[in-house]
Amino acid sequence: MSNTQKSLINVGIVGGTGYTGVELLRLLALHPNVKLRSITSRSEAGSKVADMFPNLRGHTNLEFQTPDEAPLEECDVVFFATPHGVAMNEASHLLENNVRIIDLAADFRLQNTQTFSQWYGIEHSCPNILSEAVYGLTEINRESIKRARVIANPGCYPTTVLLGLAPLLKSSLLCKNTQIIADCKSGVSGAGRKASVGTLFGEASDNFKAYGVTGHRHNPEISEQISKISGQEYDVLFMPHLVPMIRGMLSTIYVDLSKDALDTNVQDLFERFYANEAFIDVMPQGSSPETRSVRGSNALRIAVHRPGNNTRLVILVAQDNLVKGASGQAVQNMNLMFGLPETAGLQSIALLP
């Protein structure tokens, strides 16, 4: 299938009962160029999607099907909103039937299979397909995404960190010996829609904690992509935290600029870098983005601070972890793959209050 625009894209979703799955449904149900063909769930097969997710009543008549029953081969693109390890086992069959793949898990994010096995505890089953997969950081890899058959949708935390750093990485303004410190916070929906003591209301409410302190699987993903964007290796310290809200993500990134960058107008650099990006908002100097300003939207807001006007730079990045951090970016990538306007189906305004 060519990248020329189609009037209607037949879409399948594998794994439709989680938060990213229902977010895909919410976005795609109103997408002007999409026909939802199938959505799978082994545990909910035969039940109506709108019975599980009442916000979709009146917008879809789909029923959950098992993966074996679903006509995924008849789709133009299949989204995998599944645990790690599912997409790579289905990829060959779908690609043989000219079906494109957008994986919201980590199966195609790390090109080093040993690193993947180390962090995810499973062997990679299709390294040949992995080698052609494109990392779906839309604003950075736009041209490659247009031509791709397989998209590795970025993790939510890496999206904030990489887009927060990209103008500096592309301009070689960082001190070569700087340690990149990414202090990141997410709402509980980032943990997925599963029963877990740590995300129970009585555990997460009125509480604030760090996790993955000794190492987190997003760290190698961030490091690998920083190296690709900049052509250099940097020491990255990534520290995630859980905050008592449902959705939203705020990352505070600390870096040191090179001495040659002391006279650089960093605010102007960021504004020019993202000037033509529909979903990236570089806020006025002195601003502080809030998670509520992006809730339910595909927007990502950035503010840049230079305390004392010295070499230390503080970058603040806010996004909705389920939209720009997951399903919204996946739809953005689908639009590119099929020659549609990048903003199609994604122009909703954030919800306030």
Domains of the chain: 9-154+325-337 (3.40.50.720), 157-321 (3.30.360.10)
State what percent of residues in the chain have pLDDT above 70.
98
Residue 105: Cβ-neighbour burial (10 angstroms; 0-12, 13-18, 19+): buried
- Please report which confidence band the pLDDT of residue 1 belongs to, taking 50, 70 and 90 as the band edges: very low
| 345 vs 3: which has the higher pLDDT | 345
Distance CA 150, CA 145 (A): 9
Q: Does the annotation count 126 as an active-site position?
A: no
Neighbouring-strand partners of residue 179: 235
State the average pLDDT for the chain. 94
| 43 contacts: CB under 8 Å, gap ≥ 6 | 17
Which residue is associated with the tokens 């997710």?
A: 53
Three-state SS letters, the chain = CCCCCCCCEEEEEECCCCHHHHHHHHHHCCCCCEEEEEEECCCCCCCEHHHHCHHHCCCCCCEEECCCCCCHHHCCEEEECCCCCCHHHHHHHHHHCCCEEEECCCCCCCCCHHHHHHHHCCCCCCHHHHCCCEECCCCCCHHHHHHCCEEECCCHHHHHHHHHHHHHHHHCCECCCCEEEEEEEECHHHHCCCCCHHHCHHHHCCCCEECCCCCCCHHHHHHHHHHHHHCCCCEEEEEEEECCCCCCEEEEEEEEECHHHCCCCHHHHHHHHCCCCCCEEECCCCCCCCHHHCCCCCCEEEEEECHHHCCEEEEEEEECCCHHHHHHHHHHHHHHHCCCCCCCCCCCCCCCC
In which band, very low, low, confident or very high, does the pLDDT at 6 lie, cut at 50, 70 and 90?
Answer: low
Whole-Å CA distances, 257 to 149, 180, 187, 301? 37, 11, 31, 21
pLDDT tens per residue across span 162-210: 999 999 999 989 999 999 999 999 999 888 777 788 888 888 899 999 9
Report the amino acid identity of residue 94.
Answer: L
Give residue 4's pLDDT.
45
Query: Does the pLDDT at position 216 exceed 70?
Result: yes
| Tokens 């939802």 sit on residue | 36
> In the structure encoding, which two tokens stand for residue 171, read together?
């301009």
Residues 342, 336: contact at Cβ < 8 Å?
Answer: yes
pLDDT at 3: 46
pLDDT digits (tens, 9 = 90+) for 249-298: 999 999 999 988 888 999 999 999 999 999 999 999 999 999 999 999 99
The pLDDT confidence band at residue 309, using thresholds 50, 70 and 90, is confident
What average pLDDT does range 52-73 have in this prediction?
93
d(CA 107, CA 104): 9
Selecting among 126, 156, 175, 184, the annotated active-site residue is 156
> Residue 79: pLDDT band by 50, 70, 90 thresholds?
very high
Tokens of 150: 């397989």
Examine the pLDDT at 2 and tell me if it is beyond 80: no
Hey, what are 216's tokens? 């987190």
Contact 38, 13 (CB under 8 A): yes
Mean pLDDT of the 69-77 span: 96
Burial of 239: CB neighbours in 10 Å, binned 0-12, 13-18, 19+? middle
Amino acid at 52: M
- Compute the distance between CA of residue 136 and CA of residue 20 in angstroms, rounded to an integer: 16
Specify the amino acid at residue 97: N
